[in-house]
Structure 1
Amino acid sequence: MPYIRPISDLRNNFNEIAEICHQEGEPVFITKNGHGDLVVMSVALYEKQQALLELYAKLAEAEVESKSKAPKVSHAEVMRSMREKLNEQ
């Protein structure tokens, strides 16, 4: 369930809003004149969302690469090559 608070709560009850963000791990939506205006979240949640966005971008890039006509290497070939390199050392 989303947490929705008026902008006056941001000024008057900041500690309570911060506590919600940290304990619940959810963003708090701030309204101004009855309309959505801001979203407040913990740094941990922000970093988690940024990591997910980065992962999705890498997955999209990998999907495009897998559909390309570039030559493919099987898992067995990769493992054989890695073992050879390790044995050379």
Structure 2
Amino acid sequence: MPFIRPISDLRNNFNKISEICHQEAEPVFITKNGQGNMVVMSMALYEKQQALLELYQKLSVAESQSQLNEPKISHKELISKLRSNLNE
């Protein structure tokens, strides 16, 4: 369930908003004149979302590359090549 607070709470109840962000690990939606205005979240949640976005972008690139008709090697072959490179 989303947490929605008026913009005046940023000034009057900042500690409560901060507490919600950290304890619930959810963003708090801030309204101004009854309309959505901004979102406040903990640094931990922000970093987690950024990491997920980066992962999704990398997966998208990998998926695109897998559709190409380039030669592929098995996991066993890859590990073997990596080990031989490390041993050199």
Distance in 2, matches of 1:26 and 1:39, equals 10
Aligned partner of 1:53: which letter? L
What does residue 38 of structure 1 align with? Answer: 38
What does residue 48 of structure 2 align with? Answer: 48
SS of the equivalent of 1:46 reads: helix
Distance in 2, matches of 1:30 and 1:82, equals 50
- Unmatched segments (≥5 aa) in structure 1: none
User: What is the TM-score normalised by the length of structure 2?
Assistant: 0.92
In the TM superposition, structure 1's runs of 4+ consecutive aligned residues that sit over 6 Å from their partners are none
Residue correspondence of structure 1 range 1-89 to structure 2 within 5 A: 1-86=1-86, 88-89=87-88
User: What is the TM-score normalised by the length of structure 1?
Assistant: 0.91
Q: CA RMSD in A?
A: 1.2
Aligned partner of 2:53: which letter? L
Aligned partner of 1:56: which letter? Y
Render the CA deviation track for 1:4-60: whole Å, top value 9, x for unaligned.
000011111001000100111110000011110010000000000000000000000
Q: Percent identity?
A: 68
SS of the equivalent of 2:9 reads: helix
